[in-house]
Amino acid sequence: MKIVMLGAPGAGKGTQADKIADQYGLPHISTGDIFRKNIKEGTELGKEAKGYMDAGKLVPDELTVRMLLDRVSQEDCSKGYILDGFPRTIPQAEALDSELKRLGENIDFAIDVEVPDQNIINRMSGRRACPKCNAIYHIEFIPPKKEGICDECGEELVIREDDKPETVKKRLEVYHEQTQPLIDFYDKKGVLHTVDGRVDAEDVFEAIRSILK
């Protein structure tokens, strides 16, 4: 069972990917983790990627796909895997599709966790982080016992740059421009399934479970 997770930043797709991984015993794979692992271990692919990154260039899609295929060829992926954060663009999706076809494989499910932009902006701008112990709060859903103060260490909480409304809006604009077309791409392949990400995380997961049955 090969799954691609889709959804805007802050939609909760990473949380759902973790739940699917636990439930079905599949590895949750993010390209960020793959890059870090290859670079840390000094693999040939890692050295190649580091060369681009050190030069301030984007790692080419072809190399990213090679790193991904190297990861999914490992034993723990024999029953399938969950891709989170890749593909991000149509060229990446086409490159992945082409390589999987060559191996006689394909993506079985593309799950889009759908949340309106304004909900995401409200959700993320309500986050507060502790700069000392990294604890995360939310002014509405997980408020600290004392407003603006970390329960764990007493440090003053901050709004991370990534959670500021203007930053979230920019990230959403990039998502709609680059990643939204993937929804049409997987819809045409007949593997797209959309779930309502506005409801409780457990309800979202139940909807996903009914799709994967």
Please list the active-site residues.
13, 88, 127, 160, 171
Within 13 Å and on the Cβ side, how many CA atoms surround 163?
16
Q: d(Cα 135, Cα 149) in Å, to the nearest integer?
A: 11
3-state helix, strand, coil in the chain (%, to 5): 50, 15, 35
Beta strand ranges found along the chain (DSSP E): 2-6, 28-30, 81-84, 109-114, 127-129, 136-138, 192-196
Within 13 Å and on the Cβ side, how many CA atoms surround 166?
1
Determine the length of the chain.
213
Q: d(Cα 202, Cα 19) in Å, to the nearest integer?
A: 9
